[in-house]
Chains A and B, each alone.
Chain A
Amino acid sequence: MTRLALAFADGAVVAKRNLIKIRRVPELLIWTTMSPIMFVLLFGYVFGSSIDIAGTNYREFFIAGVFAQTVIFGASGTGVGMAEDMTKGIIDRFRSLPMARSAVLVGRTGSDILYNSISILVMSLTGLLVGWRIRTSALEAIGGFLLLLLFAYAISWVMAYVGLKVPSVEVVQNASFMFIFPMTFVANTFVDSSQLPGPLRTVAEWNPVSAVAQAAREAFGNTGDLPEPEVWSLDHPFLYSLMWIAIILAVFIPLSVRQYNKATTK
C-alpha cells in the first residue's frame, strides 16, 4: 500500500472508532444539533426583525452566515476531540501499532465531517421554517453545501493542531472561541461588509469566512438585489475560498502530523 492509501485506510478505522462513540453517547449528537437550531432561530427572529439590508430579505441573507459560523464552531470540536484523545491511554496503543502516523488525525477530521453534515442539515430544515429558500438549482445548492463542508474540514485541521498544542479540553475550547468570534463576526456573515468602517471593512472583505458565506449565498440564490461586490475576493468568492482551503490544508496537515508525533514521544 502506498503511504496515502495507508493513511486513508487507517484513518477510516480510526474514524469508525470515533463514530462508534457517537452511537454509545448519543447526547453528543443531540447537543451538536441543538446549537445550530438555536443560532438559526436567534438570528432569524432577533436580528431578522431589527436589521435591514437594502435589496435583500435578511432572513435569507443571514442563513449562509450562520452556516459558515456554525461549521467553524463544529470544527472546533476536532480540537477538543484531539485534546481528549491525547489524555487517553488509547493513544499509546495507536502509537505502538504500524499504522500511518497521520491516521489518528485523518480519522478525527474525517469523522467530524459527519458532525458538520448533520448540523448543516438541521440548520437547513430550521432555516426553511423561518423563511429561508433556495432560489437556484439543486446542483448549485449542493455546490454551496460542499464548499461549507470543505471549509469546515480545513478549519478542523487548524483546530486539531490547537488541540495537540494545548492538550487540555478546557483550554482548547476557550482558545478556539477567542479565535472564532472575531473571525466570524468581522465578516459579511451577518452584515453587509461594504457598510463597515475603514480597516474593519478591509479585514471583513478579505476574510475567508466572508468569501465562504458569500459563495454559499450565491449558491443558494440569496443575494437578492445586492450590488455586485467590488472587491476581488467577494467578486470571486468560490475561487477565493478554495484558495484559502488549499493553503490551510497545505500548511496545517503537515504541521498537525508533526505536532502529533512530537506530542506523543515526549
Chain B
Amino acid sequence: MTNMIQTTGLVKRYGEVVALDHLDLEVPKGSVLGLLGPNGAGKTTAVRILTTLLVPDEGSAEVAGLDIRKEPDKVRERIGLSGQNAAVDEYLTGYENLDMVGRLYHAGKKKSQARARELLERFDLLEAGDRPAKTYSGGMRRRLDLAAALVAEPDVLFLDEPTTGLDPRSRSQMWETIQELVRGGSTVLLTTQYMEEAERLANDIVVIDRGRMIAHGTSDELKVEIGGERIELILANSADIPAGRSILAELSGGDVQVDEHTRNLTAGVTGGAEALRQVLQRLAEKDVAVADIGLRRPTLDDVFLTLTGHGAEEATETSEDDKEGSGSGRDEIREKEAVR
C-alpha cells in the first residue's frame, strides 16, 4: 500500500529548542495516524510542516506523493487542515467562511455554495450559519474550522486536536465524520490528548516527546509493550489488606500496588482469567471479603504516562525528578479505576 504521508528525518529548531528531532512518519493510504505526546512535544510543529505552513530545517516529507518543499502548491490542493487554533474569519458568517474556502480551492460558485450549506448542516451550524463567526461559541468555531478543512473533500486530512473543546455529542459526531471519510479513502493524521479518541480512530499511534518518536504501534501493541494484564482487587475491610497483598504477591510474582485508603490492590499477572480464578479461590479460602475484583488491561493512559514519564504540564521543563510525576499520575489512574 502506498504511503500518503511519509517523512524522513524532519528537524525543526527554534533557537535552543528542538521542536522536531529527526522525525520519521509513515501513514498508508486510507488509514489514521494518531500523533500523541505531552504539551510542547512537537505535534503542532509536525502538522504545520506537513501542511506547508512551516519549512523544516532538515529532512524531507511527502504528502500524497508530493514533496512538500518542491511542490507546496500541489500539496495544498490535496490536503485539508484544521489547526490547533480555529482559522476562521470572525467577521464573516459561517456560510461565508465556507464559501470563501470553497472558492479558494477553485470549486466554482455553485459547487462551493452547495458544499457550504451541506457542511453547515453536517456540523450542526445551519441555524448559526448566517451569523458572523465572532458570535460563535468556542465549540461552534471549532466545528466551523473542521468544516472548512473538509470543504474540498481532501485526500489527506490534518487535524490538530480536532475535538478539544467539543461537547460529548459533537465529539462523537466528529468521530463518525472522520470514520466516514476514512471509509471513503481519505488518509488522516490527527493529534489528540484524548486517549479514547486515539483508541477509537487511529490504526497506528506514534508517541513523540521532545520532538522524537518514542513509541510506535497499534494501541494494542503499545499496551503489550508496557506490560500485560492487571488484577485489580478492592477489599471490603481494611483489616484484610495484608492477606490480600500476600495472595496477589504469590500469584503475580511481582509488585503489588496498594492504596490503603481505597483498599485497592493492583498487580500485573499473566494467564488472564485463570489467574483471576485462582486469586478468587485463595481469597475464599482465607475468608477475605471482596468488594470488587476485575481483570483489566492497561489503558492507553497507562501507556502514555509510562512512556512519556511525566505529566502533561511539566513537559517542557522535565528533568530527573519526573519519575515522581509519573508515579503520582498512575496512582490517579488507579484511583479512578477503583471508583468504577
Residues of A within 8 A of B (CB): 1, 9-10, 13, 16-17, 20-21, 24-25, 88-99, 103, 264-266
Contact = CB atoms under 8 A, between A and B. Distances in A.
A10 B105 CA distance: 9
Interface stretch (B48-56, B199-207, B329-337): B48-56
Contacts of A1: 106
A20 B88 CA distance: 14
Interface string B285-309: 0000000000000000000000000
Contacts of B87: 89-93, 96
Contact of B132 (A10, A24, A90): A24
Contact of B79 (A90, A91, A96): A96
Given A89-B87, A92-B53, A96-B79, A13 B103 contact: yes
B146 to A, nearest CB: 12
B81 A24 contact: no
For chain B, the bracket of interface size reads 20 to 34
Contacts of B10: none
B89 interface: yes
28 contacts: A1-B106, A9-B106, A10-B104, A13-B103, A17-B92, A17-B96, A20-B96, A24-B132, A25-B91, A88-B89, A88-B90, A89-B83, A89-B86, A90-B88, A91-B87, A92-B53, A92-B87, A93-B81, A93-B87, A95-B52, A96-B76, A96-B79, A97-B101, A98-B104, A98-B106, A99-B104, A264-B53, A265-B54
B92 A98 contact: no
A98 B91 contact: no
Contacts of A25: 91
Given A89-B83, A92-B81, A97 B89 contact: no
Contacts of B100: 13, 16-17
Contacts of B73: 98
A24 B88 contact: no
Contacts of A264: 53
B256 interface: no
Contact of A96 (B51, B89, B96): B51
B148 interface: yes
B164 interface: no
A213 B225 CA distance: 77
B180 interface: no
Interface string B95-128: 0100011011110000000000000000000000
B76 A93 contact: no
Contacts of B85: 89, 92
